[in-house]
Amino acid sequence: MSAPLSDAPLAGKFALVTGASRGIGRECALALAKAGAHVVAVARTQGALEELDDEIRQASGQSATLVPMDIAEGDGLDQLGLAIHQRFGHLDILVHAAAILGPMTPVAHIEPKHWDRVVAVNLTATYRLIRSTEPLLRAAPKGRAIVFSTGRVARPKAFWGPYGATKAGLENLVRTWADELEQTNVRIALVDPGAMRTKMRAEAMPGEDPETLPDPAEIGPMVVELAQADLGLPNVNVLFSEWKSGTLVSA
């Protein structure tokens, strides 16, 4: 069994990670656990969450709290917030990585049911998550929220309509939220991970060689650093491609 990081910078912290069963969310959960945080892992698939828990135990010597749920179910997010309050009293770190790509098709060809699903997961769930976790983050000594977005917001591209539009809405919502919390102890970062070796990327770009892309595990140290950073308002996104270790702590 591997031991936690020697200095365990996040020891005693509680972290909620959405989309924790695979890709970027999974690697964020692992990195936070290795840094000492107790992770509340949210994803739809029970089996994948159990595999994550096994890996967290092996890597850090501690278990995770597993929450199998669809984040599009707003009532479930409300119940999750209440459960965290009752068990932990506060939330130190929120990492919102859950998202779906949606159909890669011209805007005029999008089926309403597919549009509604992407909006529910990528945008409405973000609002419900903010609503549920803000009191918990405020109750922490230094609450930190890390929300993943995409370069498609600034650079729209054919066939990416539902994904890009909902992520644009997410960015506006999160920046508004951060502005509202400027006088509190909560700080928020919007992160653009760029192209990574994930299932979503493979779905969007099936002809691309995944070996040319960074592994999602490479973003873990940046997320651990953001969880401790003295952040300002997220007027620009934190770009993984420009991140260097140690550049965020006193940002």
Catalytic residues: 163
DSSP state of 44: S
Three-state secondary structure call for residue 120: helix
| Spatial distance between the Cα atoms of 52 and 29, rounded to a whole number of angstroms | 8
Nearest-CA neighbor of 67 among 58, 78, 172? 78
DSSP alpha helices (H): ranges in 36-159?
46-60, 74-87, 112-119, 125-138
Tokens standing for 96? 């919102």
The bridge status of strand 38-43 relative to strand 144-148 is unpaired
Contact 167, 152 (CB under 8 A): yes
- Find the distance separating the first CA and the last CA of the chain, reported in whole Å: 35
